[in-house]
Amino acid sequence: NREWHLLSRPVGWPKPEDFALVEAPVPAIGEGQVLVRNKYLSVDPYMRGRMSDAKSYLPPFELGKVMQGGAVGEVVESNAEGIAVGDHVLHFFGWREYAALDAKNAVKVDPQAAPLSTYLGVLGMTGLTAYAGLLRTASFKEGDAVFVSGAAGAVGSQVGQIAKLKGASRVIGSAGSDEKVKLLVEEYGFDAAFNYRNGDVSEQLREAAPDGIDVYFDNVGGDHLEAAIGSLNQGGRIAVCGMISVYNNTEPAPGPRNLARLIMTRGRMEGFLVGDHYDLQPQFVQEVGPWVASGALKYRETVVEGIESNLEAFLGVLRGDNTGKMIVKL
């Protein structure tokens, strides 16, 4: 059983020396617990926050201990009622090959209903983030023009497509490579997309959305947020989901210089955490599940293999190596 430990708190970009892949015994299970052999591990941008000791909505990872994250695996031992050997479960003890956990912290998933990895992505946490952030936080309504950053990523690609399926007047996405931009327009049906590395974000957004935007779903922060405020229409809404452009900063990033536009536009900007919106999970699965099954909503996964690749996969998400959800397959 191998597991990833955090050795030191990264300053700026995480370095391989901040982590170690450690050999550990397969854990023994107690009453009410199950032993899970993990099959798919999630790596997510928010994990960067848990590597620091700044106060946040989740406690910091402990130094010298195994890290945590979403995972799906097969139950290989069970001391719990209702979960049998051979069942598959979603749980929160990733970054390791074997996990012993209380059955109450495991959610059974059906490998016949959907590929196991999708419970971490398009039908899982990132999918619900897109759904809740767009529909609830940004109060999306038919006819809205929607701009989403990080648009080729797990959350962003789903935001744009849900908006389209629900009658957006125009969907615009930004991403960090020309191939990603092509994918957005040609496969995901975005009306326009641009590569933020190819020029000024505000100018590119104005060109892509000449009539302005009603919703901005922010995954990036920084100049993207300022650009979105600059293009916001009357009554526009900004859902602040993530700000990946600042996660490795060592100094606070400057804020948008044009916040006063929120007054004139009566604009609203609101942050959200997916953890507060699990009441929407049944509705999300009911509505989005069939779209995924029929291919009306497309998704990609970037899959890397082996527990030894777990750290590189995480760093890859911060760099933008992924298209769609980044998954580690064991």
Question: Which of the ranges 10-18, 151-159, 288-296, 307-315 carries the binding residues for ligand NDP, by CB under 6 A?
Answer: 151-159
What is the total count of residues that contact ligand NDP (CB under 6 A)? 29
Which residues, 236 to 265, sit near ligand NDP by CB under 6 A? Answer: 241-242, 244-245
State whether residue 150 is helix, strand or coil.
Answer: coil
Piece in contact with ligand NDP (CB under 6 A), picked from 91-99, 182-190, 227-235, 317-325: 317-325
User: What is the spatial distance between Cα 5 and Cα 155, in angstroms, rounded to a whole number?
Assistant: 27
Does position 274 bind ligand NDP by CB under 6 A?
yes
Stretch that binds ligand NDP, among 81-89, 205-213, 266-274, 287-295 (CB under 6 A): 266-274
SS3 (DSSP) at 244? helix
Residues 6+ apart with CB under 8 A from 263: none
Contacts of 311 (CB under 8 A, 6+ apart): 4, 16, 19, 21
Which single residue is written with the structure tokens 């992505």?
A: 121
Residue entry with tokens 């609101």: 270
C-alpha 29/C-alpha 32 separation (Å) is 8
Which residues, 10 to 69, sit near ligand NDP by CB under 6 A?
44-46
Residue 117 interacts with ligand NDP (CB under 6 A): yes or no? no
User: Which residues inside 159-178 make contact with ligand NDP, applying CB under 6 A?
Assistant: 175-177
Q: Give the HSE-up count for residue 210: Cα atoms under 13 Å, Cβ half-sphere.
A: 1
When asked if residue 220 is in the footprint of ligand NDP (CB under 6 A), the reply is: yes
Q: Which of 69, 70, 73, 156 binds ligand NDP (CB under 6 A)?
A: 156
Report helix angle 281-294 to 125-132, nearest 10.
Answer: 110
Q: Least separation, in Å, of the C-beta of 239 and ligand NDP?
A: 9
Positions touching ligand NDP (CB under 6 A) are 44-46, 126, 129, 150, 152-156, 175-177, 180, 196, 219-220, 241-242, 244-245, 272-274, 317-318, 320, 322
